[in-house]
Structure 1
C-alpha cells in the first residue's frame, strides 16, 4: 500500500508553505494569489492528495457524514428515497450511510446509538413499525442524540422533532375519488399495518372519501406493505365481488396483480387496481400501474434542506421543530377501468361495516 500524500508533500512539490497549502485545500480565506492557488490545486491533483477526514473532523467538528435509518431496504419506496437523498447530500459535500432497522425498535435504538457515537453530523430516520406504536420510547431515543434528527415519511407525533412527509390522508381520498369517478361502487382496500401512522392515514382518507358519497369498503385487508400481502389477499378480494381495489403501497399492488393473474382475473377488465407510492416504475415494475404518487425527489430535497439548516445553524434552525407535509399526486395509467356509472345506493347496505381480513 502506497504512502498517503500529506499537505507537507504538496507544499514541498509546489514550493510553498504548508500553511498556504492548508488554506487553499480547505478553501479558507488567505492572501494567496490566484496563480499560486491554481498551482497548489494542480500539484495536489497530480500527487493524488486526499484530505484526511479524521484530521479535518477534529478541526471543523464535522464528519461530513449523515445517516439514514430505514425499516426495510428491500422496500422499493425506501430504496428509491435512499438514492435520491444520497444525491441531495452529495450536492452539499456530505456522504450518506444507510442502515436497515428491519422494522425493529430494538435494532433502531442500537443503530441510533452506534451512528451518533461514531460522529455522524445528523440522522434521517424512518421510524420502525414498532416505534410507531411506542412513540414515547422513540422520542426518548431521538432526544438522546447529540446531533440533529429528521423524521421522514412515518411522522408519528412530530411536535418534538423535525419531520418531512407526504399527506397520506389526502392520498387515500384521492384514490377513493378517482375510483368513484370511474363508476366503481364495490371497492376493497389492502392497507398497511394500522400501527404505522402513514398506513392508518391512507386507509382513513380512503374510507372518508367513500363515506362522502355514502359508500364504505366491501372488504379491508390488513397487509404489511410487502409483496406477499397483496398476493395472499387476492382470493378474498375476488370473493368479495369488488370491482376495484385500493392498495396502500405499490409493492402490495404488484403482489395483488400477480395473485389476480393466477386466479385468471384480468386487470383492469375484470377488476381495477390502484397503488400508492409511484415508485415501482423506477425499478422496471408496474409501468402500467395507476397509483397515488409520493413526490420522492421533493421529499428527499426538503428533508435534506431541513437537516442542513439544523447543522448550519440558519435562522430557521432556531424553531423548536418543523413539520413539512407535501401533497400527493394521482398518476393515471392502465390498471383502472371506467365502468358504467351506477347509482349510489343509500341505507344500511351501502354503509355496512366492511369485513376485515388480516394477511401476511
Structure 2
C-alpha cells in the first residue's frame, strides 16, 4: 500500500474558493494587498486557510526577483532582549506580507559570516543585523550593492546603515538619578566585556561620566558572567569594603542582573539594603524577594521600527541617503530592590 502526500493547494483553487480572480490572489500574497478591498482580503485569507495554501516564496523570488523574505542575524538567541525584539520584527514583517528568516550566530564571528552568506543566497530583500563580531567589510559591500540594511542595538563604524536601539546615555542617567535619590552613594557596575558590543561601550562610558558628575563613588566589573566565582568575589569585596555609604549594583543587561541576583543570594545580602537595578525588564524580576528594579526597553517598538526603517530604505531605492539613528527611551520600573 503506497502512501501519497496530499497535494499543495494552488493559487487557482484559492481564487475559486474565495470567488476572486487569480490576479487578486497574486496581489494578496505578492505584497499588494492595499490594492484590494478589506472584504476581498478577508475572503482570500479565509479561503487560503481552509485549503491550507502557502505561497512558495522561493519560487516567487526566482520568478519575479522578489523573495518576500527578510533576513535577521541575532548575536545570542538565548538573550531575552533578542527574543523580545525578534517578536516585534516578525510581527511587522508578517503584517507587510514578508516572512522572516532568523540565524543565531551565538556570538561567534565565524558563524556570523557564514550565516550572512546563507541569508544572501536566499535572496532576502533586506537584513536586520544584531552584530556579534565586526563584519564591516561584508555588510558595507552589501549596502553598496543596494541591499537595505538596519543595525539593531549594535552599530559598526564602517557600515553606512540605520541603527535602531535604546538611548543608552539617557538610560544610564535615569538609573543613576534613581539610585542617588534612593540614597545609594557607592555603585558597582556589572557588565559583560564591552569590546565587541557598542551598547556595552556606550553604557560603560556613561556610567563613569555619570558617577563623576553626581559625586558618587563608582567602579566597574566587566568580565564574562559565566565565571560565577570571580563575579561573586568581586561583589563580596565591594560589599565588605570599609565605609558607611549605602551600596548598590547596576547591571548592564538582563544576563548581568541574573548573575548578580544569584551572587547576592549566595552572599546572603538583603535586597534593598544592597541596591540592585538592572537594564532590561524580565518576567522573573517581579518575583524575586521584594522585586528587582529595572529599566524596561520598548522591545516590540524597537523591532517594529527596525522593519519600518528597512522598508523605507528599500522603497526609496536611494542607498546613498545618510543613515539615521533611531533611539528609544527606557522606562523605570521601581521595586523593592532599590528601597532602603
Per the TM superposition, whether the score is higher than 0.5 is yes
- The correspondence of residues 143-154 of structure 1 with structure 2, limited to 5 A, is 143-145=140-142, 146=145, 147-154=147-154
Instruction: Give the whole-Å Cα distance in 2 for the aligned partners of 1:41 and 1:80.
Output: 27
Partner of 2:174: 174
Deviation per residue, 1:231-265 (Å, 9 max, x gap):
74233222224711111112211221111111111
1:212 is paired with a residue whose SS is helix
Partner of 1:139: 136
Structure 2 gaps of 5+ residues are none
Alpha-carbon offset, residue 22 of structure 1:
2.3
Alpha-carbon offset, residue 314 of structure 1:
7.2
RMSD: 3.3
Which of 214, 235, 257 matches 1:237? Answer: 235
- The correspondence of residues 1-360 of structure 1 with structure 2, limited to 5 A, is 1-7=5-11, 21-27=21-27, 47-128=51-132, 130-131=133-134, 138-145=135-142, 146=145, 147-157=147-157, 160-195=160-195, 196-217=197-218, 219-224=219-224, 226=225, 228=226, 232-240=230-238, 241=241, 243-269=247-273, 271-278=274-281, 280-281=282-283, 288-313=291-316, 319-338=321-340
Instruction: Say if 2:190 and 2:222, in contact at 8 Å, map to a contact too.
Output: yes
Instruction: Say if 2:72 and 2:100, in contact at 8 Å, map to a contact too.
Output: yes
Alpha-carbon offset, residue 117 of structure 1:
1.1
Range that drifts further, 89-98 or 55-64: 55-64
Given the superposition, is the C-alpha separation of residues 38 and 153 from structure 1 closer, same or farther in structure 2, using an over 3 Å criterion? closer
Alpha-carbon offset, residue 274 of structure 1:
0.6
Given the superposition, is the C-alpha separation of residues 77 and 38 from structure 1 closer, same or farther in structure 2, using an over 3 Å criterion? closer
1:202 is paired with a residue whose SS is helix
1:144 is paired with a residue whose SS is helix
2:278 is paired with a residue whose SS is strand
Alpha-carbon offset, residue 38 of structure 1:
9.4
Instruction: Say if 1:288 and 1:334, in contact at 8 Å, map to a contact too.
Output: yes
Aligned residues: 318
Deviation per residue, 1:25-53 (Å, 9 max, x gap):
11379xx9x99999988876655444333
Instruction: Give the whole-Å Cα distance in 2 for the aligned partners of 1:41 and 1:261.
Output: 52
Alpha-carbon offset, residue 59 of structure 1:
4.4
2:271 is paired with a residue whose SS is coil
Range that drifts further, 322-331 or 35-44: 35-44
Alpha-carbon offset, residue 158 of structure 1:
6.9
Instruction: Say if 2:166 and 2:329, in contact at 8 Å, map to a contact too.
Output: yes
Instruction: Say if 2:58 and 2:67, in contact at 8 Å, map to a contact too.
Output: yes
Structure 1 gaps of 5+ residues are 132-137, 339-360
Deviation per residue, 1:116-146 (Å, 9 max, x gap):
1111111111111x32xxxxxx221112325
Alpha-carbon offset, residue 277 of structure 1:
1.6
Larger Rg over CA atoms: 1
1:160 is paired with a residue whose SS is coil
